[in-house]
C-alpha cells in the first residue's frame, strides 16, 4: 500500500538528508485536505529544529527526495510546513485492478488457534421481552464481534441470561396472584411478552401498596421495603435459593416461555451466540469467590451478615457482594461468570457490551477480581455504550413504556413495504421475494441507524428517518449495492465482458479516482474501527463510499463507454465497490439485496 511505502521513504529521507531518526509510526501522514492539491500530507514542523532550516526548505528537500525515489509519487507541493504528495494515476489504476474481484480485500484471516476474544452481549432478564435498548446492545455486540473477526481476531460470542433474582420473582409472584393459569398457548402471546405483562402487573399493584402505606404515615423508603408484595417477592427469592421444588418448577416453566420468545426475536434480528451462560448456573461459583475473598481478608462481613468490599482506596465506595439473608446480587454472579468464562476459553480479552449506566459495576468487577488474585482481571473490558432514547424520553420496562423489539421490526417491515411501493422499486418481484426484500430493508434501516452512531453516545431513535432511501441510511447503501450489481450483470450478460480479465487505464477522472482512494482506505478503516470497538466508523465509511460511487455513476456513462478496455476497467471498479460494500455491511450484520 502506497501509504506505508510513502512513510518508509519519508523516514529514509529524514535519515539520509538530516540524519534524523524517525520511525514510520511517528511520521504524521494524513489525507490531504480537499482545498489543497494532493493525496497525502506530511507535517514537517517536528523536524525543522534538528534540520536547522525553514519549514518550506525542509518540505521541498523531502519532497524532491521522495519523488526521486518513489515511482508512485507523481508530484508534490508545499504550503508552509505542509508537504502534499500527489499519487500517480498508474498506481491508483493498478490498485483498483488488483482488488476488482478480491472478495476478501480489507479482511484479515483469522487464526483459529489463537487465544480468543470473548464478547458478551444481549444479557437479557427473563422477566420481560427484548426492547429497543436490547436491540442496540445486540446489534452492537454482534457487529463488534464481526468487526474483530474481520480484523483477524478469534472471536467467541457469548450471552449471559439473567434468569434468577428479585426481578424474576416479581413476575412469578404476579402470575401466581393475577394470572389465572394463563399460558402462551391460551393467550396467543409470545412467552416473553406474557411474562413481561406480569412484571408490569407487579409494579402496578406494588405502587398501590406503597401509596396506601405512605397514606397511613409510613416513610416512603420504609413503605417500599415493607409493602406486602415486595416482602413476599424477597421471600420467594430466598425459597428459590434454598431449592424449594414448587418455586423452582414455576421458575423453569416461566423461563421456558421466555427462552422460546427470545430465540424468535434473535432470529429476526439475525444474531446468535457460540455459548449461553445462565446466572442460575454461575451465582454459586460467585458465592464461593465471595467466601474466598473473606478468607483472604479482601472482603468483610457486617454484623447483619451481609458481605462487602471496601473500595475507598480506589476512589469508590463500599460495594455489597452478598445480602444479609445470604442471597446473591448481580456482582456475585458476574464474579462467578468471569471465572467460568476465563476457564472455558483462556481468553485474550473479555469484552462486556453493557450500557453506560453500569460503568461503576464493571469498575468494581475488575478491581474485585484483581484483589481475589486473578492476574487476568486486566483483560476485562467494559464496552460502555449510550442509551437509546425516544422523542418522548426514556423507556421504563416496569411501567410498560418500552418499544418492543418484535413490534418495532414488524413496523419497520411495513414501512419498508410502503416505501418500496411508493418508489415502484419492486414491481417485477414475486410475493415471497418481496417479503424477503422488505425484511432485508427493514433490518438494514434499523441496524444502520443504530450502528452509525458512536457507541459511546446516547442516541435518539426515529424509525421514519431511518428507512429513508436518501441520505446516510441503510436503504440508501443497499440500493446503491443493488444498482451496482445490476450494472455488472448487464455488462457481463449484454456486453459480454469478462469480469475476471485484467484492465488498467493511464488516466483517471476525478470522481473515479475519489472512489478508488476510498477503497484504498478500507483496510485501515477496519483496523481503526476494531481498535476502538466502533462499528460507527465502518458504517460512515460505507456511506461515504456509496455516496462517492453515486456521484461517479451520475457523471460516467459506464455502459455507453466506447473504449472496450476502459469499459472493462470501469466495470471491474464497480465490482470492487460492490464487494467492499457487501463486506462492510456484513460487519454491521446487514444483508444487501442483489436487486431492488
| pLDDT, tens only, 450-482 | 999 999 999 888 777 888 888 899 999 999 999
Q: How confident is the model at residue 427 (pLDDT cuts 50, 70, 90)?
A: low
**Quick one: angle between helices 132-150 and 245-269, nearest 10?**
60
As a whole number, the mean pLDDT across the chain is 93
Same fold, 2-87 and 406-587: no
Please give the pLDDT value at position 133. Answer: 87
CB 187 within 8 A of CB 263: no
Mean pLDDT of 8-27: 94
Flag whether pLDDT at 23 surpasses 80.
Answer: yes
**DSSP conformation class of 377:** G
The superfamily CATH assigns to domain 121-389 is HUPs (3.40.50.620)
With a cut of 50, say whether residue 265 has pLDDT above it.
Answer: yes
CATH number assigned to the domain with residue range 2-87, chosen from the 4 options 3.30.1360.70, 3.40.50.720, 3.90.320.10, 3.30.300.30: 3.30.1360.70
Helix (H, G, I), strand (E, B) or coil at 460: strand
Q: Quick check: 585 pLDDT over 80? A: yes
pLDDT tier at 425 (50, 70, 90 boundaries)? Answer: low
Q: What is the pLDDT of residues 88-116, one digit of tens each?
A: 999 999 999 999 999 999 999 999 999 99
| The pLDDT of residue 338 | 95
Q: Mean pLDDT, to the nearest integer, of 11-38?
A: 93
| The pLDDT of residue 12 is above 60 | yes
In the prediction, which pLDDT does 395 show? 41
- Give me the mean pLDDT over the 36-49 stretch: 95
Tell me, which fold does domain 406-587 have in CATH? Answer: Isoleucyl-tRNA Synthetase; Domain 1 (1.10.730)
Spell out the domain ranges in the chain: 2-87, 121-389, 406-587
pLDDT band at 387 (very low <50, low <70, confident <90, very high): confident
Edge to edge, what strands does the sheet with 349-355 contain?
A: 275-278, 155-161, 117-120, 349-355, 380-385
d(CA 98, CA 380): 40
The proportion of the chain whose per-residue pLDDT surpasses 90, expressed as a percent, equals 86
Lowest-pLDDT choice from 126-140, 322-336, 424-438, 571-585: 424-438
User: Is a pLDDT exceeding 60 seen at residue 396?
Assistant: no
Kindly report, residue by residue over 196-233, the tens digit of the pLDDT: 999 999 999 999 999 999 999 999 999 999 999 999 99
How far apart (Å, rounded) are the C-alpha atoms in residues 216 and 26? 71
pLDDT, position 397: 43
For 386-433, give the DSSP string: PPEEBTTB--BTTTTB--BHHHHHHHHHHHHHHHHHHHT--TTS-HHH
State percent of the chain over pLDDT 70. Answer: 97
∠ CA 64-67-73, rounded to 5°: 145
> Which residue's C-alpha cell is 465506595?
317
For 135, residues 6+ apart whose C-beta sits below 8 A from its C-beta are 269, 388, 405, 408, 446, 450
pTM of the model: 0.91
Is the pLDDT at 401 greater than 80? The verdict is no
Given this model, what pLDDT does residue 421 score? 76
Work out the average pLDDT over 340-346: 94
Distance CA 505, CA 574 (A): 15
Amino acid at each position: 500500500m502506497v501509504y506505508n511505502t510513502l512513510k518508509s521513504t519519508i523516514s529514509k529521507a529524514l535519515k539520509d538528508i538530516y540524519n534524523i531518526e524517525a520511525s514510520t509510526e511517528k511520521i504524521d501522514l494524513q489525507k490531504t485536505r480537499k482545498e489543497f492539491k494532493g493525496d497525502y500530507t506530511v507535517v514537517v514542523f517536528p523536524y525543522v529544529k534538528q534540520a536547522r532550516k525553514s519549514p518550506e526548505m525542509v518540505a521541498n528537500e523531502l519532497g524532491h527526495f521522495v519523488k526521486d525515489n518513489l515511482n508512485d509519487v507523481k508530484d508534490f507541493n508545499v504550503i508552509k510546513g505542509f508537504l502534499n504528495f500527489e499519487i500517480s494515476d498508474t498506481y491508483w489504476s493498478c490498485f483498483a485492478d488488483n482488488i476488482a474481484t478480491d472478495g476478501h480485500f480489507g479482511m484479515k484471516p483469522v487464526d483459529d488457534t489463537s487465544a480468543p476474544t470473548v464478547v458478551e452481549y444481549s444479557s437479557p432478564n427473563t422477566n420481560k421481552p427484548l426492547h429497543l435498548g436490547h436491540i442496540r446492545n445486540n446489534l452492537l455486540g454482534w457487529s463488534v464481534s464481526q468487526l474483530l473477526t474481520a480484523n483477524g481476531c478469534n472471536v467467541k460470542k457469548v450471552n449471559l441470561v439473567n434468569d434468577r433474582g428479585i426481578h424474576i420473582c416479581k413476575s412469578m409472584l404476579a402470575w401466581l396472584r393475577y394470572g389465572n393459569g394463563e399460558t402462551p398457548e391460551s393467550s396467543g402471546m409470545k412467552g416473553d411478552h406474557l411474562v413481561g405483562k406480569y412484571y408490569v402487573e407487579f409494579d402496578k399493584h406494588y405502587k398501590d401498596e406503597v401509596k396506601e402505606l405512605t397514606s397511613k404515615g409510613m416513610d416512603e423508603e420504609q413503605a417500599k421495603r415493607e409493602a406486602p408484595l415486595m416482602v413476599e417477592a424477597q421471600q420467594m427469592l430466598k425459597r428459590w435459593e434454598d431449592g424449594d421444588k414448587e418455586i423452582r418448577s414455576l421458575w423453569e416453566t416461566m423461563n421456558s416461555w421466555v427462552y422460546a420468545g427470545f430465540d424468535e426475536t434473535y432470529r429476526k434480528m439475525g444474531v446468535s451466540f457460540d455459548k449461553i451462560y445462565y446466572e442460575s448456573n454461575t451465582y454459586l461459583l460467585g458465592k464461593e469467590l465471595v467466601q474466598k475473598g473473606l478468607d483472604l481478608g479482601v472482603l468483610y462481613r457486617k454484623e447483619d451478615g451481609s458481605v462487602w468490599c471496601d473500595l475507598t482506596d480506589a476512589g469508590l465506595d463500599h460495594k455489597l457482594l452478598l445480602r444479609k439473608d445470604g442471597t446473591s446480587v448481580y456482582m456475585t454472579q458476574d464474579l462467578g461468570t468471569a471465572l467460568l468464562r476465563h476457564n472455558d476459553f483462556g481468553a485474550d480479552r473479555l469484552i462486556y457490551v453493557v450500557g453506560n449506566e453500569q460503568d461503576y459495576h464493571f469498575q468494581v468487577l475488575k478491581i474485585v477480581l484483581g484483589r481475589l488474585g486473578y492476574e487476568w482481571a486486566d483483560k476485562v473490558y467494559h464496552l460502555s455504550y449510550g442509551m437509546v432514547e425516544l422523542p418522548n424520553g426514556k423507556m421504563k420496562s416496569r411501567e410498560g413504556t418500552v418499544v418492543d423489539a418484535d413490534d418495532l421490526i414488524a413496523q419497520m417491515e411495513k414501512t419498508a413495504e410502503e416505501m418500496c411501493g411508493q418508489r415502484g422499486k419492486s414491481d417485477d418481484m414475486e410475493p415471497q421475494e418481496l417479503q424477503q426484500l422488505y425484511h432485508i430493508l427493514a433490518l438494514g434501516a434499523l441496524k444502520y441507524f443504530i450502528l452509525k452512531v458512536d457507541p459511546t453516545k446516547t442516541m435518539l431513535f426515529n424509525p421514519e428517518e431511518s428507512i429513508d432511501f436518501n441520505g446516510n441510511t441503510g436503504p440508501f447503501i443497499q440500493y446503491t449495492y443493488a444498482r451496482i450489481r445490476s450494472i455488472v450483470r448487464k455488462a457481463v450478460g449484454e456486453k459480454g465482458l469478462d469480469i475476471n480479465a485484467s484492465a488498467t487505464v493511464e488516466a483517471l477522472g476525478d470522481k473515479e479516482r475519489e472512489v478508488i482512494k476510498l477503497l484504498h482506505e478500507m483496510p485501515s478503516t477496519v483496523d481503526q474501527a476494531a481498535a476502538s470497538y466502533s462499528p460507527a466508523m465502518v458504517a460512515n465509511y460505507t456511506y461515504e463510499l456509496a455516496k462517492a460511487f453515486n456521484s461517479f455513476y451520475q457523471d460516467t456513462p459506464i455502459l455507453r463507454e466506447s473504449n472496450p478496455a476502459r469499459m472493462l476497467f470501469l466495470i471491474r471498479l464497480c465490482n470492487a465497490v460492490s464487494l467492499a460494500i457487501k463486506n462492510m455491511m456484513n460487519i454491521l450484520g446487514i444483508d444487501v439485496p442483489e436487486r431492488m
